[in-house]
Amino acid sequence: MKRITTTLMSTLIAFLLVPSFGFFGPGILSQENRLALVVGNAAYKSSPLRNPVNDAFDMARTLRTLGFQVIHEENANQRTMENAISRFGRQLRKQGGVGLFYFAGHGIQVNGRNYLIPIDAEIETESDVRFEAVDAGRVLGKMEDAGNDLNIVILDACRDNPFARSFRTSSKGLARMDAPKGSLIAYATAPGSVAADGKGRNGIYTEYLLKHMTTPGSKVEEVLKRVRVDVINETNERQIPWEASSLTGEFYFAPKRGIAVVKRPPVEPQRPERDEGLEKEREQLERERQELERLKIEIDRKKLEAERKRLEAEKKKLELAKLQPKPKYSPRTIDLGLVHYTQAPKTFLVELPNNFSKVEIGVYGKGDDTPNSYGGWNAWLKVNGQTVWKFKRWNKKEGGVIADYTRGGQEVREVTGRDRYLNATSFFKPGINQIIYYHYNEGPGINVNIRIY
């Protein structure tokens, strides 16, 4: 009898000392696995925050006392956040039970989706967000993939959008997300509204969440309701916490014991456990990234400085060119001399440089000294097979030359000086050019000159 009594007492004592994590209800002992990922980001370049690191540290410590295994990250960049979410998903899928994700920091909505902002995000426009931030739906996806019993998402991330000035839309806070079956999503304030940083160690929402989640025997809905009441009173109704839930069972952060309450030994605050080798590698990668950014900025600066100097030199060169007098250009003249009708047809070869800009042909008739003498009628010039001039007559009279000539199918009569120059640029080409003089009537002939510019 004594042995039986001793055995019963030992069994009862062991039963009372088993830690309880109430998923099913107060007084019902349950040892479901509990896993939490806690992230707090505060050290933003453009808009740093006061509380999130403290919020995450205190939340991680409290969750450990409530039986959670905690993955804890502080001031995480994008890669760190994504790696932590993947690790959280793998572990949750492996062990099942209860999954909890807590984030404190900047969060924004773009096109109806919520994004959590890493500390290294470089966001200039809305289109940058999906590449620089972490989609909150990524966490819900990992939880759904795990197929575990219950999931809780807590977002203390509804602060002012630090990038709002460069965005096309003016949506505030976070957008509403539908909670998948068996999950609860808690926001520090209602969708589309903004939550405030706290004046003390913690943000207002997290401060009251830490206070009430350790109350024994309180369902998670009751805890969040008490938090909502306290936050509303604290902020004079400017901030109203909000939840979306599809829970089908009951969950207690701190279950109430049916027979006795067994207090756990106090857990000393611990900073997140980190793999030293991985941490050193991250630090090295971050240093290399910063060095590359510095080098890129330096290279860009040197390029801009070189371009500036080049433009200044070009400007000075143009200014000096304006001040200097333009040199007078004298064309090169080729005198083909007097061509008598008896010499016709006569061919001349004229070589032009590649950089010539203009060619003129000058002609005049050679009559005698009689006032009405004619000279050089019925003659013409061809350049490279095309007729340039066709002369009918010249009459030296009163110191001038009457020239009847045909060009382009039109007959023109002019009184000119001794030499008549005609722009014939279009008939010439760089290199060797052929000029042929024709004459089919008697006459003294003509003089031919070529001007090359």
Token couple for 388: 């340039």
Token couple for 356: 């010539």
Rounded to whole angstroms, the Cα distance separating 270 from 71 reads: 12
**Count of CB atoms within 10 A of residue 98's CB?**
22
pLDDT at position 401: 41
Rounded to whole angstroms, the Cα distance separating 111 from 107 reads: 14
Higher-pLDDT residue of 118 and 370 is 118
- For 96, phi then psi, to 5°, come to 70, -160
pLDDT at position 284: 81
Higher-pLDDT residue of 27 and 322 is 322
What is the strand order of the sheet 150-156 is part of? 69-74, 34-40, 98-104, 150-156, 183-187, 242-245
- Provide the residue type at 345 as one letter: P
pLDDT at position 63: 96
Q: Which of 146, 119, 147 is nearest to 132 (CA)?
A: 119
* Residue ranges of domains in the chain, CATH in brackets: 18-257 (3.40.50.1460), 332-452 (2.60.120)
Residue 229: partners with Cβ closer than 8 Å, 6 or more residues away: none
Rounded to whole angstroms, the Cα distance separating 88 from 103 reads: 14
Instruction: Render pLDDT for 197-214 as a digit per residue (tens, 0 to 9).
Output: 667 889 899 999 999 999
Q: Which of 79, 134, 72 is nearest to 108 (CA)?
A: 134
Is residue 107 very low, low, confident or very high in pLDDT (cuts 50, 70, 90)? confident
Instruction: Render pLDDT for 132-153 as a digit per residue (tens, 0 to 9).
Output: 899 988 998 999 998 888 999 9
Q: What is the mean pLDDT of residues 351-371?
A: 70
Q: Say if residues 65 and 31 touch (Cβ distance below 8 Å).
A: no
Q: Which of 165, 152, 63, 153 is nearest to 116 (CA)?
A: 153
**Count of CB atoms within 10 A of residue 235's CB?**
15
Rounded to whole angstroms, the Cα distance separating 114 from 111 reads: 9
Rounded to whole angstroms, the Cα distance separating 365 from 339 reads: 10
Across the strands, what pairs with 407? 410
Whether 297 shows a pLDDT value over 70: the answer reads: yes
- For the question of whether the overall pTM of this predicted structure is more than 0.75, the answer is no
Poorest-pLDDT segment among 18-22, 43-47, 174-178, 223-227: 18-22
Higher-pLDDT residue of 14 and 106 is 106
Q: What is the mean pLDDT of residues 379-401?
A: 65
**Count of CB atoms within 10 A of residue 416's CB?**
13
Token couple for 402: 């009457």
Q: Where are the alpha helices (DSSP H) in 180-275?
A: 204-212, 220-234
Token couple for 292: 């590359």
